[in-house]
Homo-oligomer: A and B are copies of this chain.
Amino acid sequence: MPSYKLIYFDLPGLAEPIRLLFSYGKVPFIDQRITKEEWVTLKPTTPFGHLPILEIDGVPYSHSRAIFRYVGSIVGLIGKDPMENLAIDSVLGAMLDIREAIVKLRFCEDEAKKPELKKALEERYQRTYKKLEVDAGKNGGYLALNRPTWTDVLFCYNYELLRNALGIDVLTPYPNLQKVKKTVLSQEGIREYLKKRAPNPMKPKYELQQDL
């Protein structure tokens, strides 16, 4: 097996789904967390000036979505053909749309614009969750296919972000999506990771391990 090193800040951010995916498959990886000062030195040496980076046998690869999919593959959570991967990638797109709306609200500096951004986030996630609830019902508790895929793991992290952004348990009206979360959180590698994961320096009100 190649050696893996994940480089990111000491934050969940775009690296946490990757840490969760490695953990799902119990694939060993170095979880290198760097300071902002270290980033200044490292940045010019990276492929595109971004984190996270996944080093595979010392070769750096960039872009979180590319890394999600790669780690999803190596832990056996990918589709078996292009059609299945289309279904998986489509769910990823829906997750990232929600994340984008969360980020817009969180980093908005204009107080007057916040209610509008909050409404946009609510509409976006409700529209998405309604559709995914139906799909998860048909798929027996999985989002994209009738078996676990890497988007189920992404979904749990996305839920954690969303719950903190809105301050409510966004899953209450969605029993099938609750099942998706429960299945992921009961997976052995995920449980072990969540029990020992580094405290989030942002100190959010809700963290996934509360539901273990």
Contacts and interface: CB of A to CB of B under 8 A. Distances in A.
A85 B70 contact: yes
Interface stretch (A25-33, A87-95, A171-179, A191-199): A87-95
Given A78-B82, A83-B70, A85-B73, A65 B93 contact: yes
Interface string A165-187: 00000000000000000000000
B89 A66 contact: yes
Nearest to A48: B94
Interface string A52-83: 00001000011111110110011000100011
Contact of A93 (B63, B88, B93, B128): B63
A104 to B, nearest CB: 12
Nearest to A70: B86
B56 A83 contact: yes
Nearest to A46: B131
A59 B78 CA distance: 21
A124 to B, nearest CB: 8
The A contact surface, by secondary structure, is helix
A50 B98 CA distance: 13
Nearest to A62: B90
Contacts of A78: 82
A13 interface: no
A47 interface: yes
Interface in A87-124: 87-90, 92-94, 97
A70 B83 CA distance: 7
A65 B93 CA distance: 7
A110 to B, nearest CB: 11
A66 B48 contact: no
Contacts of A56: 83, 86
A147 interface: no
A49 interface: yes
Q: Would you list the 9 A-B pairs with minimal beta carbon distance, nearest first?
A: A63-B93, A66-B89, A73-B82, A70-B86, A66-B90, A63-B90, A62-B90, A70-B82, A48-B94
